[in-house]
Structure 1
Amino acid sequence: MKKKLAIDAMGGDFAPQSVVEGCLLARAEFPDTEFILFGDEAKIRPLLSDETNITIVHTTEKIDSGEADPVKAIRRKKTASMVLAATAVKNGEADALVSAGNTGALLASGIFTVGRIKQVDRPGLMSTLPTLDGKGFDMLDLGANAENTAHHLHNYAILGSFYASNVRGVSSPRIGLLNNGSEASKGAPLQKEAYELLSADESLNFIGNVEARDLMSGVADVVVVDGFTGNAILKSIEGTASSLMKQLKSSITNGGILSKIGAVLMKKSLYSLKDALDYEKAGGAVLFGLKAPVIKSHGSSNADAIFATLKQTHKMLETDVVGKLVQHYQEDK
């Protein structure tokens, strides 16, 4: 059965060009998939070599990246590309939603239009982040919620474990609780209560508390955290990786002839380092806990990053990770 992806073609800094080009890359790899592009037909069609497995749903309205109130925006702009794409998923006309547009609006569209799984109180925003060994780890919540309860963190452990197992193929994923120390007694009341819930759940491979300094060393396959802290950690990792690469480039450029010769000799290793720190290669951030996959690609995504997100979305549909999650909660009643 053909998979159908609803794509907000007007979301992102380089839309619709980067979105369309990413779709063309994905179309070449996934002939079993139909890409439904929601956006300005006059801007999208000239970018297509042909329209095999591509459908355009025309609209000139879009959600701007600088919307002051994303929830009001999706209610006011009922024909915006993102809103129409979310509605298509809700109505069963598409299997998943992908956008590089306004994060707040996408979260609102996912929760209010696509809808959450009944047993998941607070869907979490999850990304696969890089580790030095190249395996990566999943972390949530990364900012879908400013505040969380211990029950939410327990839910995130279940969600993350299902994703790591089904989509990334990790056997018995190690679940870590982000804390200010590895000892069981560490943390604020939220972390202490969450620790007890996670320890008591025998279905999870809970390894205890983990510290932020160890995340990129691959200390866990899934890391659960409250949304406020998770968002801060995510931006710290992104900023550190970006600054490190800029500093390295500057040192080589300004270091004289010996530095340049050294860079040539280490070219392969330097590219490996760059790839290891490139979080976009793993795809987008999943708003997990909804009735269908909703994935947020980075606002500055180029065609390759969009392709990575579409590949990730295809994998989620292929493994039916959302369906398995729904079944898990039904059996757990």
Structure 2
Amino acid sequence: MSRSPSLSNSDSLRAAQMYYLQDLTMDAIAHELHTSRSTVSRLLSAARDSGLVQIQIRSPQELTPELERQIRHRYQVDAHVVPVPDTLNEGEVLDRVALQAARTITPLVDSNAVIGVAWGSTLSAVSRHLRQKTTHDCTIVQLNGSGNTRTSGISYASEILRRFGQAYSARVEQFPVPAFFDRAETKAAMWNERSVQRILDLQERMTMSVFGVGSIDSDVPSHVYTGGYLDETDLDGLAASSVVGDVATVFFRADGSDDGIAMNTRASGPPLSQLRQVHRRICVVSGVSKINGLRGALAAGLATELILDEATARRLVQEDITVHSEPPGKVGL
């Protein structure tokens, strides 16, 4: 009599390797695993759902592989371009990108990891598509505070973190501080508190970070720009500093620089220099209207993996070609 094993990741991985890499039939796999053909089918489905197996269909006319190659060559990031039709609105594109991002992230999550997660519209969408993966001694830590004068932000940010923690059987560590302090000296004093230092220490030990790129110009506005976190004076200051976007509420310019941006002295997110030290940095971007913020984030070297929609990838590559094809002496004029 065949046994019916539980659908563990290890069983799904073994079945997937035999089916996709060794070309064994499901009957042959069932015989080798001492189980039934229907169980093998469930194991293969679980492997696809968890992201252990990612099936991609490429036509000869498909531009996605070439876009990924060009982005990888230019920016030294592992690019994942999500094919989507131009007929979709930006909200629908975001959902497609979030689904692909969730399936890409899950295989990269290991036990004993410390994963920093930023809150925002993009990560909220990604968190809704995460699949279960059992890990051990894994920690999800909030990258930046979420409070403002209208709300504590705890319910919004905690729901994103809860989904990540639940998906990966991980401990969740929230960061119950404002997104932006009113005064830089208040932040400095708060950062000396032991309860805050515990979270900061976790952030310094991150092995992975997951974040989107904030942009005020996006058709799906970034939550930091719509949730009451910035007043008119703040926005004017960002414009005066030529800010194009933010990651975890830390702002940067088109060339990736962040020096002299006053808001960053009050921001609760990790300094960009610290973020760059994290081994794996997964950036998820959806929507052509975020192109300026994306280019700034890439110029700052904030990502090691980039997941984005096809239209944004085309714009990124086209603008890159335009800039680098200008005759000498014209760039930047």
Same fold (TM over 0.5): no
- Which of the pair has the greater relative contact order for Cα pairs under 8 Å at 6+ separation? 1
User: What TM-score do you get using the length of structure 2 for normalisation?
Assistant: 0.31
Larger Rg: 2
